């Protein structure tokens, strides 16, 4: 299966299983107003997927701009997917708990996630907490996450689905795609909390070594937005479900400027190379969407290997390796 066939196959799995659950207008929360381009790819893929549905998005926002408004119980709550269901990224996990606590009668769908807890007691505590909501659906991206989830949640409420980035419309990539200037190779290695030591031989085999450009050099505009989100969150606590002028401005900047800028930056970055060695899952996914050759390395806790085994092993563009001797 080549990369384009893979994209169509995974997109169809999402459409077949997720679409029947979104049966009314919805809100889309926990958006990634930060520097991780991988989360921006998920965001864009989710928006492209939702644009094909018959229902309307009534509200959107990040942890710092959600006002927790009063909404009709028929409104579906969509929570952004990714790799932050666990005890590494507590901001998103705490937000999900707050949503579950406030919206007891609404259908809540947590879009495809990887589950990882270093503290197994915390894992049990959190999943039992989510299991108490009678209309919560948890989508997961790999088989280990699925097995963890069904220990605590009703099996019918747990969905094994691919990453939402596979729903990015191809024309977005074609319009921004640029041909590699040479046959150069990229070693894309994480430099954040999920970093894993990379085999020294890979540095010799590759021409350029870098994480997402936004991690190597954080844009001042992004720092400003993240700081404003923290300020907005503090202000919103006293506003009784009403968005402030600041939170509305942050949302507007994020959806009309920040998202598109980060998306283009990611496409341009990966587009320069023919071969991508990567410890970032979305470096791999974007490279596949751009029809590159990919060598996937694992992150610190097995997320990439789990996703590869669930969805990518039949793709002719990718070879999963742990080291190069």
Check residue 182 and give its pLDDT: 64
3-state secondary structure of 116: strand
* pTM of the predicted structure, to 2 decimals: 0.96
- How are strands ordered across the β-sheet holding 185-188? 208-209, 185-188, 275-278, 293-296, 318-320
Q: Range with the lowest mean pLDDT among 152-166, 239-253, 267-281?
A: 239-253
* Arithmetic mean of pLDDT over the chain: 94
State how far the Cα of 49 lies from the Cα of 260, in Å rounded to an integer: 16
**What is the mean predicted confidence (pLDDT) over 238-247?**
84
How much is the average pLDDT of 197-214?
A: 93
Tell me the mean pLDDT in the region 185-192.
Answer: 94
Length of the chain measured in residues: 325
Q: Which two tokens stand for residue 201?
A: 């031989």
Give the mean pLDDT of 309-323. Answer: 88
Distance (Å, whole) CA 99 – CA 87 = 17
- With beta carbons less than 8 A apart as the criterion, state whether 318 and 5 touch: no
* ∠ CA 149-151-153, rounded to 5°: 60
Q: What is the pLDDT of residues 79-109, one digit of tens each?
A: 999 999 999 999 999 999 999 999 999 999 9
Q: How far apart are CA 47 and CA 164, in angstroms?
A: 9
Q: Please say whether the beta carbons of 151 and 117 come within 8 A.
A: no
Domains of the chain and any CATH numbers: 3-167 (3.40.50), 173-216+264-320 (no CATH)
**Are 269 and 209 in contact, with CB atoms under 8 Å apart?**
no
Closest CA to 15 of 51, 56, 60: 51
Q: What is the pLDDT of residue 25?
A: 99
Residue 171 makes CB contacts below 8 A (sequence gap 6+) with none
Token reading at 25: 């207008």
Residues 163 and 45: beta-carbon distance below 8 Å: yes
Q: For the segment 144-175, what is each residue's pLDDT rounded down to a tens digit?
A: 999 999 999 999 999 999 999 999 999 999 75
Q: How confident is the model at residue 238 (pLDDT cuts 50, 70, 90)?
A: confident
Please compute the mean of the pLDDT values over residues 200-206 and round it to a whole number.
92
The residue behind tokens 């700081």 is: 227
Is residue 65 over pLDDT 80?
A: yes
Q: Is 82 left (phi over 0), alpha (psi -120 to 50) or beta?
A: left
Report the SS3 class of residue 251: helix
Q: What is the pLDDT of residue 258?
A: 96
Measured between alpha carbons, how far is residue 241 from residues 79, 134, 237, 247, 305 in Å? 18, 24, 9, 12, 41
How many other CB atoms are found less than 10 A from the CB of residue 242?
A: 10
- 29 SS3 class: strand
Residue 161 in tokens: 């689905």
| DSSP, res 105 | S
The pLDDT of residue 233 = 92
Residue 311 burial (10 A CB sphere; 0-12, 13-18, 19+): buried
């Amino acid at each position: 299966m080549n990369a384009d066939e893979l994209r169509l196959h995974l997109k169809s799995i999402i459409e077949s299983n997720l679409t029947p659950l979104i049966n009314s207008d919805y809100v889309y929360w926990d958006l990634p107003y930060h520097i991780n381009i991988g989360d921006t790819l998920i965001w864009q893929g989710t928006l492209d997927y939702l644009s094909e549905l018959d229902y309307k998005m009534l509200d959107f926002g990040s942890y710092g701009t959600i006002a927790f408004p009063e909404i009709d119980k028929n409104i579906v709550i969509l929570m952004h997917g990714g790799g932050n269901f666990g005890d590494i990224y507590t901001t998103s996990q705490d937000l999900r708990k707050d949503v579950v606590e406030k919206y007891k009668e609404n259908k809540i769908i947590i879009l495809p996630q990887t589950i990882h807890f270093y503290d197994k007691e915390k894992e049990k505590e959190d999943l039992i907490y989510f299991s108490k909501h009678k209309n919560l659906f948890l989508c997961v991206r790999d088989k280990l996450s699925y097995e963890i989830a069904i220990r605590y949640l009703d099996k019918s409420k747990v969905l094994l689905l691919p990453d939402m980035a596979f729903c990015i419309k191809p024309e977005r990539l074609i319009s921004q795609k640029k041909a590699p200037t040479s046959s150069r190779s990229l070693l894309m290695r994480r430099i954040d909390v999920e970093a894993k030591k990379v085999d020294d031989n890979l540095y010799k085999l590759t021409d350029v070594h870098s994480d997402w450009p936004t991690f190597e050099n954080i844009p001042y505009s992004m720092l400003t937005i993240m700081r404003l989100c923290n300020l907005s969150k503090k202000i919103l606590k006293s506003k009784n479900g009403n968005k402030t002028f600041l939170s509305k401005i942050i949302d507007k900047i994020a959806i009309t400027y920040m998202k598109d800028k980060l998306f283009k930056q990611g496409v341009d970055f990966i587009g320069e190379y023919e071969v991508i060695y990567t410890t970032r899952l979305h470096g791999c996914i974007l490279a596949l969407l751009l029809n590159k050759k990919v060598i996937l390395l694992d992150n610190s806790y097995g997320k990439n290997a789990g996703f590869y085994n669930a969805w990518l092993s039949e793709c002719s563009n990718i070879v999963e390796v742990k080291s190069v001797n």
